[in-house]
Amino acid sequence: MAYGKFYTPQSKEVVELPADHPPVPFGKTCPIFSSETSKGGPHEYREPQPEDVRSVCPALNAMANHGYIPRDGKNLTFKVIFRGLKACYGLSTPLALVLTTGGFLLIKRSPVGLPFGLNKILAVRNPDGSTSTPGVIDLKLIGKHGGVEHDASLVHVDCEKGSLYPSIQIQENWVENVIGDILPKVEGYDDEKKSISLSTPTTPVHETNKKQNHSREPSGTSSVTAVDSDSGSTLSSSSSWRKYVTNPYSDILVSCADVGRMRARRQREISPKKLGAVHEEIARGEMAIILGVWEQETYVENLDGEKNGGVTVKKKGIPLPHLLTWLGEERLPEGWRPDHVQSLRGTVKRSKLIRKAAKAAEMKA
C-alpha cells in the first residue's frame, strides 16, 4: 500500500549513512539524512525558515528543527512521523503507533495512502484551498484547533474565537512561569514577578519590527513565523527564563507533581473555559512522554515546599534547562540522544501522577 509521495530527491549524490540508520532500499534516498544535513550533523538544531510550517506542539516542532522529520514541516506521512518519534525520543513501537495514528484521526485525516490512483480522487481540501492526499499531512494541519491542539497550553495563547488555528508564537514570559510551579522553590525565582498566562499575547507581533510568514494561513490569525525585517532570520526576544538554563540550575528536576501544578494553574487561568476529557488527557500525555524521555533522579529537601528539618527525599524528574529550552526554543538538549525506550505503560503511569497532582493543586487553590 502506498503511503503517498513525501520526498523528491534533488541529487543523486551518495551520502554515507550512520551505522544505526535503518536500511534504505536500493535507488532510494533518506528524506532526512542528506548531503546538506550531513555537513553539520543530521540532527543539529536549525531555526525554521520563513517558508517552513510549524504547529504549537514543541515535540513535533523540535523534531523538525533537528531534522528527525522534514525540516520544512511539510509532506508528513505516517511512516515519517512514526519513525521520527522513535528515532528522536526513543519511543516504543506501541507508543509511537498510538501517537501517530491518533494524530491523524484527531484532525480527521487518513493515516495511510490509497492504491490505484484513489489518492487523487479522495484528496481532502484544506481551509486555505489547497488539497492533501490521504496519508499526507503537515505541521500546520496538526495544529488545527480542537484536534490534537488544545486550550490552556503552557506557552501559547488559546485559539481565538472563530479561528481554525492558534498562533504558534511562544509567549516568552509564560515559559518562565512554569518555574514558579516547581517544588522545592527554585532559588532566585521571584513569584511576585510571575505574569498571568491569560489568553492574550504578552508581546503582540504587530508591536514589533517584524514581517510575518503566513505559511498556509487560512484564518488571518493563525500561526506565524516572526522574521527579522533586515536579515530575514527568526527573531527570539531576550527573556529572563534563559538564565535558568545555565549550569547552576542543571540539577533542578521537574517532576510529575510539578507538571500537575502547571496544568492546574493553566486551567485556572482560562476559567470559565474548561478542557474536555480528551484534551485533558492529551495535555497530560504530552508532558508525561517528555518526563519519561529525560527522567533522572536526585535527593532534595522540602519537596512539598514546607521546611522539614533538613530531611532529604528522592525526586524524579527532568532537568529544568531541558524543559525550558524545549518549551521556549523547541530545541533538544545539546548532544543528547535517547538512551532508553520510552514505553506506553510508563507514559500512562506518569500521566496518572500528573492528574493526581493537578487535582491536589486545584483543591488547594
Write the DSSP string, 199-242: SS-SS-GGGSSEEEE-TT-SSSSS--EEEETTT-PBP----GGG
Q: What is the pLDDT of residue 10?
A: 36
pTM of the predicted structure, to 2 decimals: 0.78
Of the listed ranges 136-150, 298-312, 324-338, the least confidently predicted one is 298-312
Q: Is 1.10.489.10 the CATH classification of the domain at 43-364? A: yes
pLDDT of residue 8 exceeding 60: no
DSSP 95: H
Across all residues in the chain, what is the average pLDDT?
A: 81
More confident: 346 or 300: 346
Q: What is the pLDDT of residue 60?
A: 98
pLDDT of residue 227 exceeding 90: no
Grid coordinates in use for 119? 489518492
More confident: 82 or 207: 82
CA distance 84 to 60: 9
Q: What pLDDT band is residue 39 in, cutting at 50, 70 and 90?
A: low
Of 16-20, 113-117, 175-179, 197-201, which one has max mean pLDDT?
175-179
Mean pLDDT of 261-280: 96
Of 17-21, 206-210, 223-227, 250-254, which one has max mean pLDDT?
250-254
